[in-house]
């Protein structure tokens, strides 16, 4: 049975398709973030055209076959009047055979054509038109995305973040994919198809968004209990904004000033209770089992886009992540009220 929400989502998908045909803008992507019926970059464009082409042709085939079957079933043949005692000769006119040859030839030609089209599209999206200037190395883990921004010339300009990617609008970005545990699949529908993250292997793909905006992604391969809550966001920024964001991410966390006793004790509690799993650059917290939190407050969501990054949701997450994402690799830490408050006030300074 379809729930009300389900129906609304379907209606949204058809609406997006309609808007797409009429040439809407990035707004449509925000309404139906997981719709792959429209694309916002060169990689998705050719695939979406192929999809519509295959769909139109399949519908055409079904319609033509249905008409022919109906025609065959309803058509009456005229037989010569039957006279008792007469033996009718079995005759078979060769007339229909030509149609069968014609049908086979037509179908074969079309299927070969579609195969060539599909292979051509696959070849076209294999590599971007120009060599990307930026590379992001993504490591899938149950159930979040670690992202490391690489800089070949200057390793001091590299940094790590999680679940929310920023890319410059209008140019391709190289994505290297690996996984720490099981198979995941990197999928940002509006920007292109899926690429799997396979244990022991590095897969490469690329992303390009031609409209500034936010594009939602989702793990596309079942990877355990919280697979459904393993989403990501891609922000396509204007180049200057992107550069500013990158520079911001490079900064280490600021040490809380002398006077702020609650924040300072929060930082200390954080190092003891959380620092084994989370890194905050510039402090002694250097764990690698959970997301890097150096610039936590620059993210709009937490826990792989499961919750918005508000004070309330952040508190709820830290108090009991197992309630929000059961089996998540972050345990419930049984923090006391004051401890939770102190740690939270520290986290709010990590901008
Ligand atoms: C045993 C390791 C571990 C410990 C200890 C731990 N965390 Fe986590 N934390 C994780 C993992 C793993 C995730 C990712 C969970 C997910 O999204 O599925 C996470 C996610 C988070 C997030 C969301 C980050 C984001 O950008 O999505 C915050 C905030 C966070 N932890 C804060 C804390 C705080 C504060 C503490 C200490 C009170 C703490 N964690 C202790 C492992 C840990
Ligand atoms: Cu998954």
Task: Say if ligand 1 is within 6 A of residue 271 CB.
Answer: no
Residue of 142, 226, 231, 278 with the most ligand 1 atoms within 8 Å of its CB, for mutation: 278
The structural domains of the chain, ordered by start, are 134-249 (2.60.40.420), 261-347 (2.60.40.420)
CB atoms closer than 10 angstroms to residue 82: 7
- Ligand 1 atom, smallest distance to 335 CA: 38
Q: What is the pLDDT of residue 280?
A: 97
Q: What is the pLDDT of residue 5?
A: 43
| Ligand 1 centroid to residue 151 C-alpha, Å | 27
pLDDT mean by block of 10 residues, the chain; 351 residues: 43 46 46 84 92 94 93 79 76 76 92 95 93 97 97 94 97 97 96 95 96 96 97 97 97 92 95 97 95 97 97 97 97 95 96 92
Burial class (CB in 10 A: 0-12, 13-18, 19+), 291: buried
Whether 178 contacts 140, CB under 8 Å:
yes
Task: Say if ligand 1 is within 6 A of residue 285 CB.
Answer: no
- Ligand 1 atom, smallest distance to 325 CA: 18
For residue 203, the surrounding DSSP H or E stretch is strand 203-207
Q: Tokens for 294?
A: 């150096």
Number of alpha helices (DSSP H) and beta strands (DSSP E) in the chain: 9, 12
Whether 345 contacts 263, CB under 8 Å:
yes
Q: What is the pLDDT of residue 94?
A: 67
Task: Say if ligand 1 is within 6 A of residue 187 CB.
Answer: no
Nearest C-alpha neighbor of 279 from the set 311, 252, 306: 252
| Ligand 1 centroid to residue 236 C-alpha, Å | 26
Whether 221 contacts 203, CB under 8 Å:
no
Q: What is the pLDDT of residue 195?
A: 96
CA 60/CA 70 separation, integer angstroms = 15
Task: Say if ligand 1 is within 6 A of residue 290 CB.
Answer: yes
Task: Say if ligand 1 is within 6 A of residue 303 CB.
Answer: yes
Q: Which residue has 């986290």 as its token pair?
A: 347
């Amino acid at each position: 049975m379809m729930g009300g929400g389900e129906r609304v989502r379907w209606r949204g998908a058809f609406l997006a398709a309609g808007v797409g045909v009429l040439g809407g803008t990035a707004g449509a992507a925000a309404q139906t973030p997981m719709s792959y019926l429209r694309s916002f970059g060169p990689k998705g464009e050719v695939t979406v055209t192929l999809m519509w082409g295959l769909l139109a042709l399949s519908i055409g085939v079904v319609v033509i076959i249905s008409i022919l079957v109906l025609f065959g079933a309803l058509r009456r043949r005229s037989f010569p009047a039957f006279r008792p005692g007469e033996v009718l000769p079995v005759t078979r006119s060769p007339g229909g055979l030509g149609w069968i040859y014609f049908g086979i030839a037509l179908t074969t030609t079309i299927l070969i054509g579609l195969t060539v089209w599909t292979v051509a599209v696959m070849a076209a999206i294999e590599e971007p038109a120009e060599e990307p200037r930026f590379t992001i190395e993504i490591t899938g883990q149950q159930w979040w995305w670690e992202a490391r921004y690489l800089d070949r010339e200057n390793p001091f300009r590299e940094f790590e973040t999680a679940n929310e990617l920023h890319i410059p609008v209008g140019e391709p970005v190289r994505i290297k994919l690996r996984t720490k545990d099981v198979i995941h699949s990197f999928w940002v529908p509006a920007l292109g198809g899926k690429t799997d993250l396979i244990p022991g292997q590095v897969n490469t793909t690329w992303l390009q968004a031609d409209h500034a905006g936010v594009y939602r992604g989702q793990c596309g391969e079942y990877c355990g209990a919280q697979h459904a809550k393993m989403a990501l966001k891609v922000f396509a920024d204007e180049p200057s904004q992107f550069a500013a964001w990158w520079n911001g991410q490079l900064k280490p966390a600021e040490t809380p000033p002398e006077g702020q006793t609650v924040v300072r004790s929060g930082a200390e509690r954080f190092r003891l209770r959380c620092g084994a799993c989370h890194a905050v650059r510039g402090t002694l917290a250097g764990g690698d089992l959970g997301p890097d939190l150096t610039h936590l407050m620059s993210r709009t969501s937490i826990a792989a886009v499961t919750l918005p990054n508000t004070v309330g949701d952040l508190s709820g997450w830290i108090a009991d992540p197992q309630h929000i994402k059961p089996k998540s690799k972050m345990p419930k830490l049984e923090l006391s009220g004051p401890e939770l408050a102190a740690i939270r006030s520290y986290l709010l300074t990590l901008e």
